[in-house]
Amino acid sequence: MRFLVIPLINLLVLLRVLLGLPFRLLGARSRPAYVRFRLAGDPPYRERPRRARLPLGLGGQGRPEPATVTSLEGFREALELLAKDAKVKGILLVMEDLAVPPAKREVLVKLLEDFRAAGKRVVAWAVMVDSLGYQVMCAADEVLLSPAGRLDLVGFAAEALALGEGLGRLGIKAHFFRRGAYKTAPELYTHAHVSDIQRQTLESFLDERYVDLVDSVARGRRRTPEEVRAWIDGGPYSAKRAAAAGLIDGMCDEADLPARLGGKKEDEDEDDEGLEPMPMYRARLPWPPVRWRPLRPKPRLGVVPVSGMIVSGKGTPGRAAGSDTVVKALRAAGRNRRVKAVVLYVASPGGSAVASEIMLEAVQRVAKKKPVIAFVDQVAASGGYMAALGAREIWATPHAVVGSIGVFVGKFDTSELMEKLGVHRTLVTRGETAGIYSSSRGFTEHERALMELETEETYQAFLEHVAKARGRTKEEIHALGEGRVYSGSRALGVGLVDKLGGFEEACRHAMVLAKVPAERFELQTYGGGERGFSLLKLLLGSARAGVYAFCPTAWSLLGFKGGERFE
């Protein structure tokens, strides 16, 4: 049936192209010299197919304006098409509240550098831009700001919270047991002040981000690292100060951009003639690129997200990865014969130990049938890292957060708070440890001994899983564990990940392992969820089982969202 339907569809596509040819020929001569793109928010790696219900990365907020970059893959295809057009001089990149993780920033910079290497020009413009956005702008030939604009080049800061004293004043006592001095997740609730270990960990990530900022700005603006550090220390900047210091190349109102780029004369009307978005440019190509339907279906790459805190049950998309949902998704990807390989997209700080181990076992089962690559561009810590262990290879981006091999268990004692509120509860039990999970009291000495034992057992199980997957001894993993977290680059150095690379590279490598041509393939996403979730809910029930978790709520540096941003 497919061999009958596909030629008919392609014939209809050809007729549509031919019918529009006269109109495109009329507009071909007026193709713009510069094409305008709007780079905002956090565009996904790839577009989700229209038939999908959840437009990941677009948030279901309606159709974006034509100039908006809606995926990194789409942006790459557009730049490659423009690079081949001799009439096109370059692009105008309008920056607006860019909020991508470092991994995607590196992809954007590489795309712009390749476009410039093809002999084209990149002009970047913004009203307000922070350090992240400025790093992208530095990959342009010309950097412009609105005269009323601002450049917040101030480096990076991180704030770590300690709520122990505050909870105590409310009458809430946090009782947690952890294995590993670097397992700082429960410190958010148990400590009155931020520990030296957490401070040192934060500083190590800040150092890496800062060095990367200095290097990228120095390279893009052709300045020495010393000059860039002086720039950072002198920020933030008004547009006027930024121009005077040489951080930008000039100031220009948005309405004057077409004239500045030679698109229209100053006495013409205020429309954006000469700075059209990509859809209008395509409409003026005599022979625009056509996506013909192949007679044989493209091979598929299955993508299974593990995003947000790991919990038992179904979870909820982007906020909590439910073990039931992830396991079903992995089974579906494993059964589908068109799916030649699987990428496990991990963006999780961990969570339930039981749920994490269930996910690990499911990943291992699929990996026996077809190649599975685990990819991390934000965080794969604790239970998130455990889930990744079942893959044939673990890929990470340089600034991803990896590791936190450790465990904690515990509960909150709210008896004093209830007393202050005049709420009286009576705990009646049969059995010495029947009230171990109750929030109406703390742990008895006997219960504390049991919780310490459970914590140690769970930690040893974690070490065994990591040691087996990474081909190391438990002693070697213990030296890397105890809750320590690593950037992707450092994780590669200590052997916790296999390769550094981007999402598209990991996908292509997975297809190569499956012995399938990696030039063109489709992504098919598996997984979802239905119910809500909160971190507090996980912690309130964390005495029932070990918890593999790294706490990003105390780390403003990470900007962890846990949303699926791959497609």
Residues assigned a catalytic role? 183, 382
Report the Cα–Cα distance between both ends of the chain, in Å, rounded.
30
User: CB of 308 within 8 A of CB of 325?
Assistant: no
The whole-angstrom separation of Cα 491 and Cα 230 is: 31
Q: Report the interhelical angle of 102-117 vs 72-83 (nearest 10°).
A: 10
User: CB of 346 within 8 A of CB of 309?
Assistant: no
Sequence-distant (6+) residues with CB within 8 A of 478 are 463
User: CB of 190 within 8 A of CB of 174?
Assistant: yes
User: CB of 217 within 8 A of CB of 223?
Assistant: yes
The token duo for 69 is 């970059």
The token duo for 144 is 């412009």
Residue 441 burial by CB count (10 A; 0-12/13-18/19+): exposed, middle or buried? middle
Give me the DSSP letters along 218-237: HHHHT--HHHHHHHHHH--E
Would strands 339-348 and 401-403 be described as parallel, antiparallel, or unpaired?
Answer: unpaired
The whole-angstrom separation of Cα 4 and Cα 552 is: 53
Q: CA–CA distance from 207 to each of 89, 357, 376, 495 (Å)? A: 38, 33, 20, 21
Number of alpha carbons in the 13 Å side-chain half-sphere of residue 320: 22
Q: Where are the beta strands (DSSP E) in 300-358?
A: 300-307, 309-311, 315-316, 320-322, 339-348, 350-352
Give me the DSSP letters along 94-131: EEEEE---HHHHHHHHHHHHHHHHTT-EEEEEEEEEEH
Tell the residue number behind the tokens 């709420």, with chain if given: 423
User: CB of 208 within 8 A of CB of 487?
Assistant: yes
The whole-angstrom separation of Cα 17 and Cα 14 is: 5
Compute the Cα dihedral for 351, 353, 355, 359 and give only its sign. Answer: positive
State whether residue 39 is helix, strand or coil.
strand
